Structure 1
């Protein structure tokens, strides 16, 4: 792989070396490297024609579509940044992200056009909406109106070209500014351990708003491989694609793998082309892992990562999955990948801790984000002066260098690959007229790894209906964030300073389990 220093160099590099090779396949349509490079140049030209200047943001609200990756590459060329919106968010949350990004142009898929029309009055900085795909597509005309412009903005390696949103402990998402340096380092580090090459056929099944989706695509494009893009992560279609397209590399979240194991005839298909199947982003129940080892023998890689580090930071490889002598490692997150340092520190003092001692996981690498968009205080809190990212994940490292993630210091809930902060849900439930006090915790779930549960104290004399309250919640935040159940208690446990003891609330649900968080 060429040592790129600028993401915009990728299309031109592979156009010159393999112009007729397939760069991207989607819904039966192929784009060669020559075609992709020209489309990216037209996109950059169209952005400039729209008055966008370096530092501006565009936004995408769509299911997976090649236009999102074209926009990301074109933003790298034009000096702008692509803010990809989580389409699973509720309308008020979508408006928050678009406004926070200060997006001037929004690209929207047909499934979300109506929602955007309704939101337009609450999007004062948005100048234009461009529909992508479907009978009312405007994207192709937007591209065709411009001649390809090869001009590349001379961005610094630490310039942001991609902005992905993570949930925040304050209850609002934060935009992680991903940079040329960081994303290219991730591609370099991951491809070095997983045999990516120009002949690889890389399935991208996960949503592009998720770092697991976009970073997988960028690794493939960086090495000149073919991206085979799925619109949605459907288990039946994903299995069919593995066989029909002779996929060599892919990434799934455990919830999708659980569904795949239930597909009739799944084991009868031919997956012999598959070399690397990464899984991660949420807890992997051991029964699902054992079934997946039988379905996909010899190719499973567990990955632990985070948006703030552009993707994966550690791997547990096939040899550790298959060796019964080290079966205990199946609940570990493996070892740091090439180019990444991981240490365990005491959260309060920052003291480096010895092997086996639980603490906070700190990560340092060239993959780091540029910071949180518009939130310098949050950025300063996330990083130490010497470049360590305080992950907020609790765990330990054994004497052999394997990382075990046992809890989340920041109370993050990871459900089916989605990051959910209790503060987001608590902020909404606290406004319900029947609720006086509330805490949200993650509880085990065989399908999703864990799901949110609300524990509430009612106002005196309140008339309370749990189902009505759950419906009330779904009107205000995304359905996947809403608690699946609500327990009513007389009082929440608190320490002397008044802080809710969520550890005490969680304990009965996690007792006797090997909690695995990846």
Structure 2
């Protein structure tokens, strides 16, 4: 199956219809589009709170009306089915309503993080051929020929017409495009079908929620991110109450658990570390929690111990990525190794371990992890080179990470792909920052490396070599250039600068990033 947008963007399903139908026959797919999946939840409990944010509590019935109103404004702006609509909004009920509105129209939502900076937005809009952007930021669309409208949430809420849903979309057609910083110089986009989101990702949440009919989830990461997308799927598939904050604050997060009787907390290691370091209020009550879910390479032992003690419930660690990789481990005792995960859930994602030639390896043998299952995405968007390098003919996705499956088929994560920098839950592509920093007129070379950080995991350091006769810019000067001249998002800015006479080379004459990382760490 190959889906083509009205603007000519083609998205092939690299898994294939036969395998998708086999998963549907096994009950792993609901075979319904995301808006109609949500409508089933509305009909089941219209008065249940769907989203609670600092400004409003919105019921399922109210969220449905808001989605139809938003869709009416989008339709009046010329948005049709089989188009891409970009959404760049902070966490809040309008972001959830906007995604539902796009699904209602039979269009595809492209979500990416809110924040200052226009470079990422322009790149994503151009490459996806998006026809509309929903944002609360100033944005000029004069250089983007496909964009029909840039709309704010105020404009969407001011609409009066309630759109009638488009005919049901093919559940194997694209529904959402996730954005991730990989090793590429531009963020990569990954297309997911209705079934892969509501079915595959929904099945992962089914295991997390463990049959609870009324989960209340506090999501402390951006809904626009791959991990944060579990928030909207929680509403669409599981009828959860989604609780959101404007920004993460450990005291506010702890208070929200008690106030809203949170059953499931979603965060990353940095978030859990800061929450457990926060002094407890005399009347602190976290007894409503059923589970805490983290997403990190391996949950540090002190963080696991502190989280178990503070939250009084099992802690899960999710190994996953926007490429459709997913497996978790659940821990109820301190001191365990959190890179030892559980059995792959075949309703979500299976794994194979392969050698450098792509051949399967026996149990207990380490190698590269390949993944495929009901949540496997369709393809990369507008990047056939990525598809060629990261997918095999049967649709398996190479993760770039290394691990093994033991004799009982439990997954053990040995080493993550080091081509990205992970800062407090955000993934930064060094290649992207290097491309922009290298454009500074005073620089001959710029290379980005991670430096360890006890709180955030890693921070970004840029190592620079100045052009002959030109002084190297300071960190503040370089970052001003990156924001004002290159449109780089602030969350990607370097936090350290090391100026060198020349970059270190290895024995083969290639750049030694290991030596650069050592130099950067020594100067932290």
Q: Which residue of 1 aligns with 2:39?
A: 12
The equivalent position to 2:242 in structure 1, one of 205, 210, 227, is: 227
Residues 123/27 of structure 1: CA separation in 2 closer, same or farther (3 Å cut): same
Q: Which residue of 2 aligns with 1:368?
A: 376
Quote the Cα distance in structure 2 between the aligned partners of 1:401 and 1:482: 41
Q: Which residue of 2 aligns with 1:380?
A: 388
Q: Which residue of 1 aligns with 2:107?
A: 80
Residues 221/372 of structure 1: CA separation in 2 closer, same or farther (3 Å cut): same
Determine whether 1:491 maps to 2:503: yes
Residues 294/464 of structure 1: CA separation in 2 closer, same or farther (3 Å cut): same
Quote the Cα distance in structure 1 between the aligned partners of 2:106 and 2:70: 12
Residues 124/233 of structure 1: CA separation in 2 closer, same or farther (3 Å cut): farther
C-alpha distance after superposition, 1:183-230 (max 9, x if no partner): 122112331343153321122232121122222331343122222232
Residues 266/156 of structure 1: CA separation in 2 closer, same or farther (3 Å cut): farther
C-alpha distance after superposition, 1:83-114 (max 9, x if no partner): 223224622222222333333222222xx2xx
What TM-score do the two structures reach when normalised by structure 1?
0.85
Q: Which residue of 2 aligns with 1:67?
A: 94
Determine whether 1:330 maps to 2:338: yes
The equivalent position to 1:318 in structure 2, one of 307, 331, 336, is: 331
The equivalent position to 1:176 in structure 2, one of 190, 197, 210, is: 190
Determine whether 1:243 maps to 2:258: yes
Quote the Cα distance in structure 2 between the aligned partners of 1:286 and 1:89: 35
Residues 429/383 of structure 1: CA separation in 2 closer, same or farther (3 Å cut): same
Q: Which residue of 2 aligns with 1:131?
A: 152
Quote the Cα distance in structure 2 between the aligned partners of 1:404 and 1:484: 33
Alignment of 1:106-117 (within 5 A): 106-109=133-136, 112=137, 115-116=138-139
Query: How many Å apart are 1:248 and its aligned residue?
Result: 0.5
Quote the Cα distance in structure 1 between the aligned partners of 2:286 and 2:44: 30
Q: Which residue of 1 aligns with 2:222?
A: 207
Corresponding residue SS for 2:82: coil
Aligned residues: 489
Corresponding residue SS for 1:157: coil
Q: Which residue of 2 aligns with 1:516?
A: none
Query: How many Å apart are 1:355 and its aligned residue?
Result: 4.6
Query: How many Å apart are 1:485 and its aligned residue?
Result: 2.1
Quote the Cα distance in structure 2 between the aligned partners of 1:17 and 1:299: 30
Alignment of 1:34-53 (within 5 A): 34-53=61-80
Q: Which residue of 1 aligns with 2:181?
A: 167
Determine whether 1:90 maps to 2:117: yes
Alignment of 1:294-309 (within 5 A): 294-309=309-324
Quote the Cα distance in structure 1 between the aligned partners of 2:319 and 2:49: 30
Quote the Cα distance in structure 2 between the aligned partners of 1:244 and 1:217: 21
Residues 489/357 of structure 1: CA separation in 2 closer, same or farther (3 Å cut): farther
Corresponding residue SS for 2:38: helix
Query: How many Å apart are 1:461 and its aligned residue?
Result: 4.2
- Kindly indicate which of the two structures has a greater share of residues assigned to helix: 1
Quote the Cα distance in structure 2 between the aligned partners of 1:54 and 1:273: 42
Q: Does the Cα contact within 8 Å between 2:69 and 2:156 map onto a contact in 1? A: no
Task: In structure 2, list runs of 5 or more residues that go unmatched.
Answer: 1-26
Alignment of 1:186-197 (within 5 A): 186-197=201-212
C-alpha distance after superposition, 1:158-195 (max 9, x if no partner): 21222221124331112211210111221123313431
C-alpha distance after superposition, 1:492-512 (max 9, x if no partner): 32464x54343454468899x
Query: How many Å apart are 1:399 and its aligned residue?
Result: 4.6
Corresponding residue SS for 2:277: coil
Task: In structure 1, list runs of 5 or more residues that go unmatched.
Answer: 512-518
Residues 407/188 of structure 1: CA separation in 2 closer, same or farther (3 Å cut): closer
Moved more, 42-51 or 204-213: 42-51
Quote the Cα distance in structure 2 between the aligned partners of 1:287 and 1:4: 43
What TM-score do the two structures reach when normalised by structure 2?
0.84
Quote the Cα distance in structure 1 between the aligned partners of 2:505 and 2:448: 13
C-alpha distance after superposition, 1:409-458 (max 9, x if no partner): 46111111111111111112222334333332222111111122233344
Residues 349/192 of structure 1: CA separation in 2 closer, same or farther (3 Å cut): same
Determine whether 1:343 maps to 2:352: yes
Moved more, 78-87 or 355-364: 355-364
Q: Which residue of 1 aligns with 2:481?
A: 472
Q: Which residue of 1 aligns with 2:303?
A: 288
Moved more, 406-415 or 205-214: 406-415
Determine whether 1:416 maps to 2:427: no
Determine whether 1:353 maps to 2:361: yes
Corresponding residue SS for 1:387: coil
Alignment of 1:139-154 (within 5 A): 139-142=156-159, 144=160, 146-149=161-164, 151-154=165-168
Q: Does the Cα contact within 8 Å between 2:119 and 2:489 map onto a contact in 1? A: no
Moved more, 123-132 or 416-425: 123-132
Quote the Cα distance in structure 1 between the aligned partners of 2:362 and 2:94: 47
Determine whether 1:454 maps to 2:433: no
Q: Which residue of 1 aligns with 2:513?
A: 502
Residues 396/457 of structure 1: CA separation in 2 closer, same or farther (3 Å cut): farther
